[in-house]
A and B are shown apart, each in its own frame.
Chain A
Amino acid sequence: MHKPAWSDQLGEILNSAASASLLPYGMGRSYGDSCLNAHRELIDCRRLNRILGFDEVTGIVRCEGGVTLSDIISVFLPKGWFLPVTPGTQFVTVGGAIANDVHGKNHHCAGTFGAHVRQLELHRSNDGLVLCGPGENPRLFQATIGGLGLTGIIGWADIQLKRVEGPWIDAELVPFQSLSSFLDLSRESDGRFEYTVAWLDCFAGRNARGIFFRGNHSTEVAKKFRAKRGPNLPFAPPAWALNQYTVKAFNAAYYRAHAASKGTSLVGYDSFFYPLDSIRQWNLLYGKQGFLQYQCVIPQENIGAIEEVLDRIAHSGMGSFLGVLKQFGTAPPAGILSFPRPGLTLALDFGMRGEKTLALMKALDEVVLQSGGALYPAKDARMSAAMFEASFPRWRSFVPCIDPKMSSSFWRRVTEAQ
């Protein structure tokens, strides 16, 4: 593990490395092996975390790749600026957000994180420092957005922040009892609400019940805001504590609790965007075996396939706490390997139960494949090379942009067979 503290050290790290031996690493929040490099080396970029400049007129911030989104919020929200796009955790780096071209609850109107990167500087082992943007090295720019860290080390990036009045969100909770009512809600909300997402009780099958969350930045400025700091999960519970009955019970309780509090309310940005961040080490919830995430997108034209996915999950009895459903927008992808595309995305986590869990995921893959959908590399630890090929048919055109000294466990897994 290399731990550079200054960008002037990156050249030496790149020079002295063997070919296909390195991978930049940030906060390690990718669920699978896209942030790992088994038996090879990682470059921990978290010390490269400086804000290099900010234009108060345009709202463009230049920051090093290791700056975290939570850092950006804490520095710029008091000045009236917020992230243009944020994933479900603020504990990721800017480099990681670009490399996975992350999306958030505003994908339908703002696109992905990469769409708000104005330019970036890349440290490459073969051609040194390269400035990339829409007007300069556009190919490498598009490869780096969603490029899983394989195109080089992001030295700094210019990010367009967005103006907000304050830290509050006007949020609304709407319970729904079927997939079609979810779709109606989505259609009706996407024009009026900047942020939309739904939590799903995945034990309900195609009669998907859930809670639709929607919100806008509030104009409320007077109310005093204090960031929440929740409990810490001190240890992993034993495996037996999590079974289909307890998870089912959790889902039912979660649905009822939220359905009861339906309606509008003023909530802090942190509890709206980052509910899980408030439980430190929530990932331990799944015990020592851990869990697998599964996030797919089903294209708009085959949206019926999502019912089949939900049915297969319900029948397996292996539901998860957090089923998340979101309607993606139609913005063109910012990167060659960007995951979001027009359609419906579903994200779930499954406690790892060995073969049984893997078999379910394989069964889900079939449906996704048939529908012409895709899986999200940032959440994946097991997709086949064929599934990757189907998800990212353009991946071969990305290959020439890979820095010859970079590689990752994920990349070797999904491409080396081909």
Chain B
Amino acid sequence: MSMTSHATHASAMQKVVVLGATSGIALEVQRLLAKKGCELLLVARSPQRLAAIQPDLIARGAGQVLTCAADLTAIQHHAGIFEFVRRSFPDFDTVLLTYGTMRDQKDSEASVDVLLDELLSNYVSAAALLTLFSADLEQRRTGCIAAITSVAGDRGRRANYVYGSAKGALSLFLQGLRSRLHSCGVKVITIKPGPVQTPMTDHLPNAARFADPKLVARDIVRALDRRSPDVLYTPKMWRYVMSAVEHIPETIFKRLSF
């Protein structure tokens, strides 16, 4: 990418739709976007929680903050959500998908219903939503789609392969989408955080050692600004960690207990 296109993109990045606006990482990303004066349309399930973050982001400098209370995992609501965005925020240029769930792996092993729920919230609903939004951006031949997957999606691990497989599927989906939208100038960014200190991970052992969501948010906002890289590992060391992990032969990997 040339320097000129960096500059154009940076100044154009103004109107962001956040899908999953009350997630731990989204909260920090939104604050940074607000500080830059961005306009935001926030989608999340709880109207009370949206009502709490809206004035906060305005105080911190957001140009405009629209909200839409809806359950993003309910695919039957997707058309309505998308219609709302198109009507009230027609020239959005960035879509950031941030929601996800991490149930106890053991629950997914014991119950197919839990398993399907995990796949629905972390992959199926995300792919469905992004399909709607990408068609719109493709038609307008502009913009950027970014979604938070996980380093857990790079390799299936005993401890959380259900979550990992859903996030891995989302990474693959984004990879294909990136290729499809490349020719029309729409960028697709796959965000792969390592473990981050958010409500989603509080229950995990060693949670205190996880990354600060503020640092992760800074990396994400920089990527949205530059519309690059295609795949963002954050914190950065995870790029190297995962590249090492991916090279462990399967015969050894399957014996590892993490």
Residues of chain A whose beta carbon lies under 8 Å from any beta carbon of chain B: 3, 5-8, 47, 50-54, 61, 64, 75
Q: Does B202 contact A (CB under 8 A)?
A: yes
Contact at B56–A51, with CB atoms within 8 Å?
yes
User: Contact partner of A51 among B24, B46, B48, B60, CB < 8 A?
Assistant: B60
Question: What DSSP secondary structure best describes chain B's contact surface?
Answer: helix
Given contacts A8-B48, A8-B49, whether A3 and B202 have CB atoms under 8 Å apart is yes
Contact at A54–B49, with CB atoms within 8 Å?
no
A179, B46: Cα distance in complex, Å: 60
Contacts of A6 in B (CB 8 A): 22, 46, 48-49, 52
Contacts of B56 in A (CB 8 A): 50-52
Question: Can you list 29 A-B contacts with CB-CB less than 8 angstroms, sorted by A residue number?
Answer: A3-B199, A3-B202, A5-B24, A5-B27, A5-B199, A6-B22, A6-B46, A6-B48, A6-B52, A7-B52, A8-B46, A8-B49, A47-B199, A50-B52, A50-B53, A50-B55, A50-B56, A51-B55, A51-B56, A51-B59, A51-B60, A52-B55, A52-B56, A53-B55, A53-B59, A54-B55, A54-B59, A64-B52, A75-B60
Among B56, B59, B199, residue most surrounded by chain A Cβ atoms (within 10 Å)? B59
- Return the CB mask of B39-82 against A: 1 if under 8 Å, else 0: 00000001011001101100110000000000000000000000
Contacts of A51 in B (CB 8 A): 55-56, 59-60
Closest 9 CB pairs of A and B: A50-B56, A51-B59, A51-B56, A5-B199, A53-B55, A52-B55, A50-B52, A54-B59, A6-B49
A54 CB to closest chain B CB (Å) equals: 5
How many A-B residue pairs lie within 8 Å, measured between CB atoms? 34
- Return the CB mask of B184-213 against A: 1 if under 8 Å, else 0: 000000000000000100100000000000
B106 CB to closest chain A CB (Å) equals: 23
B77 CB to closest chain A CB (Å) equals: 22
Tell me which residues from 21 to 42 in chain B have a Cβ below 8 Å from any Cβ of chain A: 22, 24, 27
A50, B27: Cα distance in complex, Å: 10
A5, B49: Cα distance in complex, Å: 10
A61, B58: Cα distance in complex, Å: 13
A80 CB to closest chain B CB (Å) equals: 14
Q: Chain B: which residue is nearest A5 at the CB level?
A: B199
Contacts of B46 in A (CB 8 A): 6, 8
A72 CB to closest chain B CB (Å) equals: 10
Contact at A52–B60, with CB atoms within 8 Å?
no
Contacts of A50 in B (CB 8 A): 52-53, 55-56
Contacts of B55 in A (CB 8 A): 50-54
Contact at A75–B59, with CB atoms within 8 Å?
yes
Q: Chain B: which residue is nearest A3 at the CB level?
A: B202
Contacts of B199 in A (CB 8 A): 3, 5, 47
Contacts of A5 in B (CB 8 A): 24, 27, 199
Tell me which residues from 81 to 105 in chain B have a Cβ below 8 Å from any Cβ of chain A: none
Contacts of B60 in A (CB 8 A): 51, 75
Among B22, B46, B49, B56, residue most surrounded by chain A Cβ atoms (within 10 Å)? B56
- Return the CB mask of B224-254 against A: 1 if under 8 Å, else 0: 0000000000000000000000000000000
Q: Chain B: which residue is nearest A72 at the CB level?
A: B59
Contacts of B27 in A (CB 8 A): 5
Contacts of A52 in B (CB 8 A): 52, 55-56
A371, B202: Cα distance in complex, Å: 49
Known: A6-B49, A52-B55, A75-B59. 17 other contacts (CB 8 A): A3-B199, A5-B27, A5-B199, A6-B22, A6-B46, A6-B52, A7-B52, A8-B48, A47-B199, A50-B52, A50-B55, A51-B55, A51-B59, A51-B60, A52-B56, A54-B55, A64-B52
A320 CB to closest chain B CB (Å) equals: 31
Contacts of A54 in B (CB 8 A): 55, 59
Q: Chain B: which residue is nearest A76 at the CB level?
A: B59
B160 CB to closest chain A CB (Å) equals: 21
Contacts of B22 in A (CB 8 A): 6
B201 CB to closest chain A CB (Å) equals: 11
